[in-house]
Structure 1
Amino acid sequence: MLSLKQKFFLILGTISLLFFVYLLWLVSAFMGGGADYYVDLPNGYLFRGGDGDGIITYDTTRKSIYGKVTEIAFNDDFIIAKQVPDSMSHESEIENHLKRRNPQKNSDLKALADSILSADPYYKRIFSAQENYWILNHHGKGLLYGPFTKIEFERKKQELQVPASLVLKNAWDL
């Protein structure tokens, strides 16, 4: 039989352990960043992945591919990608772009970003498909071609002479 003192320390130890496990859960659940990772791509481009999202970005001077880039391949001339459109990711990037262009006017940026996504033909095309394909010729001005269907993508690859050895792979296997 346990004494009252032993029971007290047993209960205290159990509570301490549960509290420690709870703290670990809080840190892992809310601190974020643990799943983020970055892959340097040619000519200053970057693949940023995390929380099931993935984007190919450069900086504000060149085109980027937002919204769940799921597959990617690259060489010294081209970056090719498969994207699953994600309206939240696009909305966030549009809001950030608007903030950078006019930092004094931060009100209603979400509403403005929503209206751009719903009215602009470029974004209508992106969101009309379950998946899109892109080709980025990253030399010079960083020309971005897309969004394409799979068939349009294959045609454009031939037209731009993208090597057949450049095959899309899971972005998280880079």
Structure 2
Amino acid sequence: MKRICILVIVLYVSMTLCGCFGPGISDYRYDLATGYQLICSSAHEIKVVPKSSVGIPMIPAKVVEIVFDDTFILAKQLGLKKESENSTYMIPDEKVIRYWIINAKENKIYGPFENDEFNKKQKELKISDSLKLKDVDSYKKSK
């Protein structure tokens, strides 16, 4: 009986600790235009980052919509705010909406923009009208 109790405790502790290390069940990475990827490391930490080089432009969290082709990455981002005055946990601020454009071939970033500025910049850069922002969850998820 004592061995069974010890075995149950060891199994419980092992299973509990497994969730503390490595990627979570909903974490994923998705390859975008050359040299970039969409990374989800928690519910609100969804961002566009370079695959390898430091100093290349990135779009900070929380990216909620994205679209890309071989040259451009377009993204919609919600700002983050503290959950409460004394908290360090950040949650999305639905009132702060920003738009970004990355030229992946030139490693140039444009933004943050409000919606009208974003549409104007798309025309200026001659970005195809066929690129329409989609929810980040609509992209294939891979660990």
- Give the alignment's TM-score, normalised by structure 1: 0.60
- CA shift digits 1:128-174 (9 cap, x unpaired): x612100111122x221100112221221122221111111121321
Partner residue, 2:122: 157
* Contact 1:69/1:82 (<8 A) preserved: yes
Q: 1:56 aligns with which of 43, 48, 68?
A: 48
Q: CA deviation at 1:26?
A: 3.1
What CA distance in whole angstroms lies between the structure 1 residues aligned with 2:115 and 2:9? 51
Provide runs of 4+ in structure 1 moved above 4 Å. Answer: 11-19
Gaps of 5+ in 1: 1-8, 89-126
Equivalenced residue count is: 124
Q: CA deviation at 1:87?
A: 6.8
Q: 2:67 aligns with which of 57, 62, 73?
A: 73
SS at 1:42 equivalent: coil
SS at 2:79 equivalent: coil
SS at 2:64 equivalent: strand
Partner residue, 2:109: 144
What CA distance in whole angstroms lies between the structure 1 residues aligned with 2:111 and 2:81? 17
Partner residue, 2:101: 135
Gaps of 5+ in 2: 83-92
What CA distance in whole angstroms lies between the structure 2 residues aligned with 1:51 and 1:39? 14
SS at 1:172 equivalent: helix
- Give the alignment's TM-score, normalised by structure 2: 0.71
Q: Which has the higher helix share?
A: 1
RMSD of the alignment, in Å?
2.5
Q: What percentage of aligned pairs have identical amino acids?
A: 31
Given the alignment of the two structures, is residue 82 of structure 1 paired with residue 48 of structure 2, yes or no? Answer: no
Larger Rg: 1
